Chains A and B, each alone.
Chain A
Amino acid sequence: MVDVLIRIAGEAGQGVVTAGNTLIGGLSGMGVHLLSTQSYMSRIRGGLNWYDIRVSDRECFAGREQADLLVSFTNTAREVLSGSLIPGGLNLHDGEASDSANMIPLNAAKLAKELTGSTLAANSVAAGAVFSLLGYPSDALCGYLEKLFGQKSRELADANTKCARAGHECIKKAGFWERLHAPLPSGSVIGHIWSGAAALGLGAATAGVKFATAYPMSPSTATFAWLAEHSDQYGILVEQAEDEIAAVNMVCGATYAGVPALTTTSGGGFALMAEGLSLAGMMELPVVAVIAQRPGPATGMPTRTAQQDLQFALRAGHGEFPRAIYAPGTVQQGYQLIRTALQTAHWYQTPALLLTDQFLQDMEKLVPVFPETDKPIDRCLDLDAGAEYQRYRVPATGGVSSRAIPGGKALVVVDSDEHDTAGHLSEDFQARISQQDKRMAKLAAMQAEALPPEYYGPDTAELLLICWGSSYGPVREAVDALNTSGRSAAMLHAAQIWPLTPDAWKLRLSGRRRICCVEGNQTAQFAALLRETGILAQAETLLRYDGMPFTGAEIAERIGP
């Protein structure tokens, strides 16, 4: 397996991500597998941020700790991160040439200035240099830059392709051509680069979301920003709310009026939404919230990752009402599951939540092309309801009443107070019990339809690693590493957290010698849920809560013999 990790590092504000985007964009034409992850500090200038790109001949699912090449924009970046290079790893830096065969000098800014009169295209110089180190011709990179800048201005496109070629030449001349053992360019891996955050946006837009509102909060904002950027294209009204309480209540209003809508936030903002979530449960509104997790409590670590809000998402909101919770494990699952969340919310007229995190939001991957055309979910509306309509008529089974929206012949009355079948406030005990029973009756059907866990690995594996959400990638890579080294391991991944399907789970649990729950939190929240639902009696746990994501190698090592 060929697997190269390129780490681009520098201060906030230096364009680390732009450089990374340029490089991964250029590489996306090479027909190799690509995946990027990001690590950054909560500041606008200074600090130390890095952007990792994995280039491989096999599909990648997570990041790696050690890099093959470090591209550093500052001395601090080089000093701090040189230690994270593999033995013999390369250092591309902007200092002077030295005796060390692994130190590769390249003054990208200076070169760009000489060639174009400005340092703006320095990233293209660096990208050209990396292409050269990988032994790739500069054509694919130049083609990408041409496309990227060509629409904006001829001059810009020319400056960037010129700089890319110069960076490429410079490294080649200095004798560093092909210094990285790169996967063969094949052309067989085609697709587009999508981040987890953007895939959620596209999934929501194509599922027919027409109203999105949020209060900015890392790491959810990228999804909200994607929706804003594409709002004209998909006809979405995007409004920044004054706070998260407003956001969730606006979504309640919009869904009541018949428009698929969602909000995005992180744990702190979701805390403010708890009452609104409960309102959606009471009014039976298809409210959807994306919760992009970061380490808490409180403000915690705004730019880091965590899987700490599972139990919170599960219990948030006073009173008892059904909800569905999804947790995509990959960029592709994000695209699919936001649609599933919207559809489930509309089928069952109850809130659905989607848990992601900084790791998956920022992860970018070369993925087969997603359908980008509008293919709305079924809102499951009764558009012909007449004057005799009652919003909360109790059906014989299942608890789902027919849903009309205001504007037609039927008057639609909804109340946050307990209500009668017509939706009017009622303090009648009989009405209370029948409405509460009706709402909760949906849970059984939701459970019957819940996604089963995904199993990966040999059927008879002795070691079973259970995980949920974004730990999919690292755990899957750990399973591969363990099996390659002669162990017998498999993964069982939950992309739906609630409701769970005990039968589908139990089927996969019997006969294992060892079961371990791998989670990005300190208290093994999912393991607790599996115990609570009678799915799992006992299991080991493998946890991480420093704010960084797992890697496959780390899990394989910590599993031990």
Chain B
Amino acid sequence: MSQLLDLKKADTIPAWCPGCGNFPILKAFSGAFAESGLNPEKTVLVSGIGQAAKLPHYLEPPCNIFNGLHGRALPAATGIKCANHELEVIVTSGDGDMYGEGGNHFIHAIRRNIGLKVFVHNNQVYGLTKGQASPTSDEGFVTRIQTHGVMSTPFNPLALAIVEGCSMVARTCTGDPVHLKATMLEALRQKEGFVLVDILQPCVSFNQINTYKWYKERMRPIPPEHDPYDRMKALALAFQWGDSIPTGIIYRSRRPSFESRQPVLRQGSLVTRIKQKTLEQHQ
């Protein structure tokens, strides 16, 4: 074989474009994680594939990481939570990953209301594959594939999650780092059930419509008098888009989590229930 090129120098970290909305997300998440007091050893970060999904590799201090397949973060996270529900399982992924390729899992993981904290970096575009429409792209959004503009209605993840009785549903934006971090901290502190945080994130390379400025002009923090347990009011907020986009905690439910309803988990996590001698290597 001929000499291998050494790309180590070029393989810089993170692999994000300068100015990308993923940077503030990483920063806010690191801060919120530190403040939450969660133990990295007892935490698993799960992601799919995409630019957003690389975040777990960049987190300081590091955690356990399961960086799985495109679209399949939720079932992998579900398997981890089932095996050991004492672990904190956090999912970070893109909108294409979560709402497109993984759409079916999104529906059913929330139906289960399994205890996962899910942060979706919603840049309304496919970043890693260079700028195709995502399920949340606005109608009319023109790309090299959608040459006449997107013709489908954008997917509304918040409304879906509310309809399914998700434990906590929130929206925030990278344009407001304080709000971003505070919302993430709230999410990490949630004790029970599925938590969805949809993070509006500008993609400076492939989305020239939904820019920092565009989001900034439209973000409207939800007034404190909003009762997140009021499902119909929450739905109304979830449907607001365009000139004003509500941010904050939109909805909460008191539905018990999947884990708390499993009779077999009452005696402790599955992983502790395997009769196992000490390490006994094969051969």
Chain A residues near B74 (CB, 8 Å)?
246
| A210→B41 contact, CB < 8 A | no
Interface segment out of the listed B24-32, B64-72, B223-231: B64-72
Distance of A253 Cα from B281 Cα, bound (Å): 22
Given known pairs A249-B75, A275-B69, the reply for A407 and B87 (CB within 8 Å) is: yes
Of the candidates B7, B46, B264, B276, the one whose C-beta lies within 8 Å of that of A427 is: B7
Distance of A287 Cα from B207 Cα, bound (Å): 39
A369 at the interface (CB under 8 A from B): no
Distance of A383 Cα from B7 Cα, bound (Å): 35
Given known pairs A211-B82, A250-B75, the reply for A384 and B264 (CB within 8 Å) is: no
Chain A residues near B179 (CB, 8 Å)?
none
B79 at the interface (CB under 8 A from A): yes
The contact string, 1 if C-beta is below 8 Å from chain A, for chain B 71-110, is 0101111111111101100000000000000001101100
- Size bracket of the A interface: 35 or more
Chain A residues near B281 (CB, 8 Å)?
380
B203 CB to nearest chain A CB (Å):
20
A175 at the interface (CB under 8 A from B): no
The contact string, 1 if C-beta is below 8 Å from chain B, for chain A 382-424, is 1110000000000000001000011111011111110000011
**CB-CB nearest in chain B for A344:** B282
A173 CB to nearest chain B CB (Å):
52
Chain B residues near A232 (CB, 8 Å)?
263-264
| A376→B75 contact, CB < 8 A | no
Of the candidates B49, B64, B267, B280, the one whose C-beta lies within 8 Å of that of A406 is: B64
Name A415-451 residues within 8 Å CB distance of B.
Answer: 415-417, 423-430, 433
Chain B residues near A237 (CB, 8 Å)?
82, 262, 264-265, 270
Chain B residues near A168 (CB, 8 Å)?
none
| B76→A376 contact, CB < 8 A | no
Chain A residues near B262 (CB, 8 Å)?
237
B273 at the interface (CB under 8 A from A): yes
| B280→A378 contact, CB < 8 A | yes
| A259→B84 contact, CB < 8 A | yes
Chain A residues near B84 (CB, 8 Å)?
257-259, 406-407
Name A276-299 residues within 8 Å CB distance of B.
Answer: 276, 279, 283
| B275→A246 contact, CB < 8 A | no
Distance of A249 Cα from B83 Cα, bound (Å): 13
Chain A residues near B54 (CB, 8 Å)?
425
| B83→A426 contact, CB < 8 A | no
| B275→A208 contact, CB < 8 A | yes
Distance of A261 Cα from B274 Cα, bound (Å): 12
Of the candidates B72, B271, B274, B277, the one whose C-beta lies within 8 Å of that of A249 is: B72
Chain B residues near A275 (CB, 8 Å)?
69, 72
A540 at the interface (CB under 8 A from B): no
| A429→B75 contact, CB < 8 A | no
Chain B residues near A382 (CB, 8 Å)?
279
A474 CB to nearest chain B CB (Å):
36
| A211→B279 contact, CB < 8 A | no
Distance of A429 Cα from B7 Cα, bound (Å): 8
A197 CB to nearest chain B CB (Å):
22
Distance of A424 Cα from B271 Cα, bound (Å): 25
| B11→A249 contact, CB < 8 A | no
Distance of A430 Cα from B6 Cα, bound (Å): 8
Given known pairs A235-B264, A242-B104, the reply for A409 and B41 (CB within 8 Å) is: yes
| A208→B274 contact, CB < 8 A | yes
A203 CB to nearest chain B CB (Å):
16
Chain A residues near B245 (CB, 8 Å)?
none
Chain B residues near A243 (CB, 8 Å)?
104
Chain B residues near A384 (CB, 8 Å)?
279
Distance of A237 Cα from B203 Cα, bound (Å): 41
A22 CB to nearest chain B CB (Å):
31
Given known pairs A235-B267, A406-B44, the reply for A256 and B79 (CB within 8 Å) is: yes
Name A311-351 residues within 8 Å CB distance of B.
Answer: 347
A151 CB to nearest chain B CB (Å):
22
Given known pairs A211-B83, A249-B76, A258-B84, the reply for A378 and B69 (CB within 8 Å) is: no
| A424→B108 contact, CB < 8 A | no
A241 at the interface (CB under 8 A from B): yes
B149 at the interface (CB under 8 A from A): no
| A260→B274 contact, CB < 8 A | yes
A351 CB to nearest chain B CB (Å):
14
Distance of A250 Cα from B270 Cα, bound (Å): 14
- If A257-B80, A409-B41, A427-B7 are given as contacts, then 9 extra A-B residue pairs at C-beta distance below 8 Å, sorted by A number, are A213-B79, A232-B264, A259-B271, A276-B72, A279-B72, A376-B276, A412-B64, A414-B65, A429-B7
Sample of 20 A–B contacts (CB below 8 Å)? A210-B274, A211-B82, A231-B264, A249-B79, A251-B79, A254-B80, A257-B80, A259-B270, A259-B271, A259-B274, A276-B72, A380-B282, A383-B278, A383-B279, A407-B271, A411-B63, A413-B65, A415-B57, A429-B5, A430-B6
